[in-house]
Amino acid sequence: MKFVNYIIFVTSVLVCSSALAQAPAKMMGGTMVNSSGMTLYTFDKDAGGKSACNGACASNWPPLMAASGAVPSGDWTIIAREDGSKQWAYKGKPLYLWSKDQKPGDMTGDGFNSAWHAVKG
C-alpha cells in the first residue's frame, strides 16, 4: 500500500510540476505569441506593475489573462487589473493582444501610436 501511495504522490508531483512550468506564451520567429500564435504587445503607459489600459482600451487591446490557479515563475508575473481580474506580465510589463490582428503572425499593432510594441526577443 505504501508503494501505491508513493507512486500516486510522485505522479501528482510530476503532473503539477509540468503544468506549473508551462509559460503562458512563447517566442516564435523572434516575436512573443500566445498559445494561438497571436502576437503579444506591451504598452508604454503601463508602469509599476499596473495596467493603464482599461475599458475601451482593453476592448481594442485585450489583456493576456491569467487563468485561475496560474502560477508565475522566472520572468513571468501576474498583475491585478483595475477590475480585479488577473493578467500575465513578462519582465514586469503587462501583455496584450491587438484586436485588429486577424491571424497568427500579424503584427499590425507594432508601433501603434508610438506606444504599443510587439514583444521581441
Higher pLDDT, 46 or 12: 46
Is the pLDDT at 82 greater than 80? The verdict is yes
Range of 94's domain?
A: 24-118
Write out pLDDT tens, residues 6-36: 444 433 433 344 445 578 999 999 999 999 9
Q: Please state the three-class secondary structure of 18-72 as a single string.
A: HHHHCCCCEEECCEEECCCCCECEEECCCECCECCCCCHHHHHCCECECCCCCCC
Grid cell locating 106: 500579424
Please state the φ and ψ torsions of residue 28, each to the nearest 5 degrees.
-140, 120
41 in Cβ contact with 61 (< 8 Å)? yes
Would you tell me how many other CB atoms lie within 10 Å of the CB of residue 16? 11
Q: Please state the three-class secondary structure of 62-117 as a single string.
A: CECECCCCCCCCCCEEEEECCCCCEEEEECCEECECCCCCCCCCCCCCCCHHHCEE
Q: How far is CA 92 from CA 2, 14, 22, 73, in A?
A: 44, 28, 18, 12
Residue 102 lies in a domain: yes
Is the pLDDT at 40 greater than 50? The verdict is yes
Residue 81 lies in a domain: yes
The arithmetic mean of pLDDT across residues 49-72, rounded, is: 97
Residue 12 lies in a domain: no
Residue 112 lies in a domain: yes
Per the structure, how many domains does the chain have?
1
- pLDDT of 22: 79
* Amino acid letter, 93: K
- pLDDT of 2: 57
